[in-house]
Chain A
């Protein structure tokens, strides 16, 4: 396994980033109600933009051969959402992210033999912290009822497990 170091003394297995990247789907049809379209591929980041007031955040714990968390943020800026539709769209967003993350880790094992599973999603009300080890970010567009939402997906992965992959 190739291991490289960045300027912050983080140990980063470059192959893991490639393997995660190759496990992404360009598009996912969420039961014909919503569509996820890859907007920005996975990149390594040193820090990330804090959650804005317009973003809804949910988080998954990751366990297995890699550990950490995945935080998904949907930007609801300038969206006219009433109380009922907000609840419904939050539910669609949460399940869409659940499907996206679950499908990524399934492909990661099927294609690269790295086993990891995600927890059930929880609404995240705490600030998102960057991992000291490996932070990755990507974005998808979520299309629901002709409206388009920007979704940021941030992987915070722990080093101790990654080096064993």
Chain B
């Protein structure tokens, strides 16, 4: 994949407006195109049906369908989408469940802009190699 402007398409899924806005601001960079923000799993799936994404950043704890359940669904149905899980919880079992659900990385809140960009770039470098 070429590293063209806005080439890398990212979806943000979090039930917190503040969290979505913060992540979007952290990724306000010509390399990234935020293709959508969703506050729940249903909205996220609808966006992915309409638009191509390379990465979905998903909060673990959300009402109704959890982030881990959403990650499992995306891994099965949108195989080109890589997943970064985020949560204020950082227990080992939740991290393991997230990775088992198909996540490539896990960031505990509050993370820094550098943590997030490092995680995104690690995934993008693997996409580029493929």
Stretch at the interface among B11-19, B28-36, B48-56: B11-19
Contact of B110 with A118 in the complex, beta carbons under 8 Å: no
Complex Cα distance A87/B21, Å?
13
Question: Which residues of chain B in 68-119 are interfacial with respect to chain A, using CB atoms and an 8 Å cutoff?
Answer: 87-94, 108-110
Give the distance to chain A from B36, nearest Cβ to Cβ, in Å.
19
Selected from A95, A100, A105, the residue in CB contact (under 8 A) with B18 is A95
Contact of A91 with B110 in the complex, beta carbons under 8 Å: no
Complex Cα distance A110/B76, Å?
32
Number of A-B contacts (CB under 8 A): 64
Closest Cβ neighbor of B91 among chain A residues? A109
Q: Does A29 contact B (CB under 8 A)?
A: yes
Contact of B109 with A99 in the complex, beta carbons under 8 Å: yes
Contact of B87 with A102 in the complex, beta carbons under 8 Å: yes
Complex Cα distance A123/B8, Å?
35
- Residues of B with C-beta under 8 A to A91: 16-18
Chain B interface main SS type: loop
Contact of A120 with B61 in the complex, beta carbons under 8 Å: yes
Selected from B17, B61, B90, the residue in CB contact (under 8 A) with A119 is B61
Q: Does A30 contact B (CB under 8 A)?
A: yes
Contact of A105 with B16 in the complex, beta carbons under 8 Å: no
Q: Does A135 contact B (CB under 8 A)?
A: no
Interface range, B side: 20 to 34
Give the distance to chain B from A72, nearest Cβ to Cβ, in Å.
13
Closest Cβ neighbor of B66 among chain A residues? A120
Q: Does A28 contact B (CB under 8 A)?
A: yes
Complex Cα distance A98/B19, Å?
11
- Residues of B with C-beta under 8 A to A101: 88
Selected from B16, B17, B90, B94, the residue in CB contact (under 8 A) with A98 is B16
Complex Cα distance A30/B18, Å?
10
- Residues of A with C-beta under 8 A to B92: 109
Contact of A120 with B15 in the complex, beta carbons under 8 Å: yes
- Residues of B with C-beta under 8 A to A115: 91, 93
Contact of B18 with A29 in the complex, beta carbons under 8 Å: no
- Residues of A with C-beta under 8 A to B108: 102-103, 106
Selected from A29, A87, A102, A122, the residue in CB contact (under 8 A) with B88 is A102
Give the distance to chain A from B14, nearest Cβ to Cβ, in Å.
9
Contact of A102 with B89 in the complex, beta carbons under 8 Å: yes
Q: Does B123 contact A (CB under 8 A)?
A: no
**A–B pairs, 12, beta carbons within 8 Å:** A30-B110, A92-B18, A94-B16, A98-B88, A98-B109, A100-B88, A102-B87, A106-B88, A106-B89, A106-B108, A118-B88, A119-B61
